Structure 1
Amino acid sequence: MKKNSFQFVLFIALLCFIRPAAANVSLLILGDSLSAGYGIAAADSWPQEVQRRWQQNHPNLQLINASISGETTAGALRRLPQLIERHQPDWVFIELGGNDGLRGFSLRTMQANLSQMIQLLESANIKVALSEIHIPPSMGPRYTRMFRQSFPQLAEQHPNVVLIPFFMRDIALQPDYMQADGIHPNTAAQVPIADILEPQLRQLLLQEVN
């Protein structure tokens, strides 16, 4: 009887260790230079700031930053199957399209690439958050307007996708937060960006835990 009692206590103790590990939830960021930390130290980027906060306050949440400066939707689409296989995330935050827009790429092609990424992720039972992206008006008012409309349109086409407002919308208006090119946020902007995005991303992941 004592042996059985000991085995029962050991079983409960093991569950206490197993359950937190099983509750781990991961988010992969699939982005471009805005998320890759272009022009600043990688340790100072907003994804690293978010990860530090989660390690301290939500250790069951994991962030994987697969962003690359200069990335396009076509490039990310090619990389995505390998990223899914390697990391098997619960969520993917897509922050892409800016380089397509700045290079004047076909918006129909950009939307098709993003749509294929969403379909590929959802077919693997991975949930998707999509960031709105804005580009400067230098490409002309019609192209700029159609570019911005692309992201709400994608969210309508894929009703399970969570549309995240463009996190640079207010940051870009503050010169103290921008690098000399006027496009990329500087080191000082990374904590404010994390302040904007961390609560939204955390809320998504905590749905998987609760």
Structure 2
Amino acid sequence: MQALWVKWRTPRLPEPDGERSGELGEGKPLRLLILGDSAAAGVGVSHQDKALSGQLTRLLAPHYRLNWCLHAKSGMTTAQTLKFVQQAPNGVDVILISLGVNDLLSPIDVQRWLASTGALIGGLLEASPGAMVLLTPLPPLGNFPRFKQPLAGVLRRREARFNRALEQFCQEKAACQLLPLMLPLTPDALASDGFHPSAASYRLWAECASQAILARHLIEDTRPV
């Protein structure tokens, strides 16, 4: 009942305007796919320029000739995103995934979620062999001001189980890397709904992802031939 009350009281913010694909930058070609839920879609800001896609592509543009695409929709679970695999572009170099929050807020258990995650990544890698897959940890929803006890405690325990399982999953998959992302819970870190990231948080997320991409490709460029 508490969860339903919070859902009813939380404002529904729209996905921002702006381009969801494009080309920019100079240098070595890099094909980027951003995939996921409302956070990947940029909910919480007014335009994609301020969202994850806009901020990440700007950070990568000085280093790469970037061809990028965003496939994201509010409310998407990991299982639902499996339907997008056939629509996703083939032959990409980096896949950044933001999924799990809607699974966490549903009755699904960790093992079913991991099975869907494995199936999703398997399909993506089949279409893009050799791609680098960056996974985003679930945010500490139980610490968000909008959630009160006892719901907050339930969310903290579920978030901890989901993130431990995701970390273990990434350790066992050579193509996958879990971003070391820890967004602050300061007033300016959340959007007006008290749930989605603000532009400042999207910036931190983009910086974390760009650093992982640059570090991975720096290692590959310096390997002896």
Superposition TM-score tier, normalisation by shorter sequence: 0.7 to 0.9
Describe how 1:28-177 pairs up with structure 2 within 5 A: 28-40=33-45, 41-55=47-61, 57-83=62-88, 86-124=89-127, 125=129, 126-137=131-142, 138=152, 140=154, 141-165=156-180, 167=181, 169-171=182-184, 173-177=185-189
Return 5+ residue gaps in structure 1 as ranges.
1-19
1:208 offset after TM fit, Å? Answer: 5.8
Query: Is the Cα contact below 8 Å between 2:44 and 2:192 reproduced in 1?
Result: no
Q: CA RMSD in A?
A: 2.5
Which deviates more, 121-130 or 43-52? 121-130
| Residues 112/87 of structure 1: CA separation in 2 closer, same or farther (3 Å cut) | same
* TM-score computed with the length of structure 2 as normaliser: 0.70
1:97 offset after TM fit, Å? Answer: 0.7
CA–CA distance in structure 2, aligned partners of residues 65 and 204 of structure 1? 21
**How many residues get paired?**
184
Question: What amino acid maps onto 2:183 in structure 1?
Answer: D
1:135 offset after TM fit, Å? Answer: 4.2
Residue 30 of structure 2 is aligned to residue 25 of structure 1? yes
Query: Is the Cα contact below 8 Å between 2:100 and 2:138 reproduced in 1?
Result: yes
CA–CA distance in structure 2, aligned partners of residues 29 and 199 of structure 1? 16
1:162 offset after TM fit, Å? Answer: 1.6
Query: Is the Cα contact below 8 Å between 1:25 and 1:205 reproduced in 2?
Result: no
Alpha-carbon deviations, 1:53-89, whole Å to 9, x = none?
333x124233322222222101211111220xx3431
1:201 is paired with a residue whose SS is helix
CA–CA distance in structure 1, aligned partners of residues 109 and 66 of structure 2? 36
Say which one has the larger Rg.
1
Return 5+ residue gaps in structure 2 as ranges.
1-25, 143-151
Query: Is the Cα contact below 8 Å between 2:32 and 2:69 reproduced in 1?
Result: yes
Identity %: 27
* TM-score computed with the length of structure 1 as normaliser: 0.75
1:95 offset after TM fit, Å? Answer: 1.6
**Higher-helix-fraction structure:** 1
Match of 1:192 in 2: 204
Match of 2:149 in 1: none
Match of 2:191 in 1: 179
